[in-house]
Structure 1
Amino acid sequence: MYRGNFTFQLIFGCLLFVVLSQDLCAQQLRVTGRVYDITGRNPLEAVTVLTTSGRGTITDSAGKYSIAVHDDDSIWFSYLNKPTPKYAVRAIGNAYNFEILLHVNVSELRPVQVMPPSYKRDSIQNREDYAKAFNFRKPSFGTSINPSTGGVGLDINELINMFSFRKNRRMLAFQDRLLREEEEKYIYSRFSRSLVIRLTNLRGPDLDTFMIKYKPSVEFVEFSTDYEFQSYIKTSHQRFLRIKKMMSDFRKDT
């Protein structure tokens, strides 16, 4: 009786060990490989790799991926919002090198261009956004011609607008503010913090003060050569340091 119970426990323990081992192996299974375009020559980066159990990863710059799966899982790939069919893990011949070609051609993909900051582009966009304000002109007496009679008369709309004093003042003030902001951006597009730092090595509050105190005129920004412009910054920096030293000495004396 004792021997029978022992045999049963031994068999049960072995079966339990086999089941747990298989489950553990299933949890530790991984599928690795690479993803290429339709030519098979160009690896694809940033392809999403997903499993039916909810795991996910993306391919690196070499098109490589590695993802943990269950034995009863399926995996699929998604690129440019286009998913592939699902592939059952059990049907994958070599889980350590599962390569796949996607129906895209790298040579036909349009590159995404990240445009750097541009004063000219921003200025054009600003004038388009506020075209009504930039194109505003103070109303004046105007004349109109009647095509049927050929007679000349007053432009009624212009006459009405002439007496909209509050509206006209508001539009002119807004236009003036937009023009000043545009001029300011134009100056700082050339008199940039990066250029001043490179030529003077100023940082922090000193840099902030210098940028305000020695901001050049719009005419100088427009017509000076690169040599003249950089010489101005260097000369202004020397003057800035002298004044700073004088102020420091003055505080010490007082």
Structure 2
Amino acid sequence: MIVTAGPVIAININQLYRAVSFNKNKKKEKFRKILLDKEKENLVEQKFNPSLVQRLTGLGGDSLSQFILRYQPSYEFVREISDYDLYVYIRQQYDKFRQQTVK
């Protein structure tokens, strides 16, 4: 932003810096998005982990890996529910998983 008052010219350094560092800002925003996505992923993995699923379902090995990949809940779901509700979700999804593997 340039302001003129007679023979004096004033420049807002902050706005000038933002204008010339557009690429740097894009990189920062992209990096910020990656960090937020990783944080969300870590929360889901922390709550919906193999040891919990194995304890509640008795699955192991490839079956456990398949179950976790197929039924991993979303970040929004995990963030909103209690631990008990997560256990219920795992048991319900395990029943579906068993029915599909029996066919």
Alignment TM-score, normalising by the size of structure 1: 0.34
Q: CA deviation at 1:243?
A: 2.3
Amino acid at match of 1:212: L
Which residue of the partner structure matches residue 239 of structure 1? Answer: 96
* Cα distance change of structure 1 residues 161 and 188 upon mapping to structure 2, 3 Å threshold: same
Amino acid at match of 1:167: K
Q: CA deviation at 1:197?
A: 0.5
Which residue of the partner structure matches residue 16 of structure 2? Answer: 159
Amino acid at match of 2:88: S
Q: What do the CA deviations read for 1:13-51 (whole angstroms, capped 9, x no partner)?
A: xxxxxxxxxxxxxxxxxxxxxxxxxxxxxxxxxxxxxxx
The structure 2 residue matched to 1:226, chosen from 83, 89, 93, is: 83
Work out the percentage of aligned pairs sharing the same amino acid.
Answer: 36
Greater RCO (Cα-Cα under 8 Å, separation 6 or more): 2
* Cα distance change of structure 1 residues 163 and 223 upon mapping to structure 2, 3 Å threshold: same
Amino acid at match of 1:164: S
Q: CA deviation at 1:154?
A: 5.5
Q: CA deviation at 1:242?
A: 2.0
Equivalence map 1:189-204=2 (5 Å): 189-204=46-61
Aligned length: 95
Going by fraction, where is strand more abundant, 1 or 2? 1
Q: CA deviation at 1:194?
A: 1.0
Equivalence map 1:19-30=2 (5 Å): none
Gaps of 5+ in 1: 1-140, 142-152, 247-254
Aligned counterparts of 2:11 and 2:102: Cα–Cα separation in 1: 67
Alignment TM-score, normalising by the size of structure 2: 0.76
* Structure index of larger Rg: 1
* Cα distance change of structure 1 residues 203 and 160 upon mapping to structure 2, 3 Å threshold: same
* Cα distance change of structure 1 residues 193 and 158 upon mapping to structure 2, 3 Å threshold: farther
Aligned counterparts of 2:82 and 2:14: Cα–Cα separation in 1: 48
Which residue of the partner structure matches residue 217 of structure 1? Answer: 74
Aligned counterparts of 1:244 and 1:169: Cα–Cα separation in 2: 46
Going by fraction, where is helix more abundant, 1 or 2? 2
Equivalence map 1:1-254=2 (5 Å): 155-246=12-103
* Cα distance change of structure 1 residues 208 and 163 upon mapping to structure 2, 3 Å threshold: farther
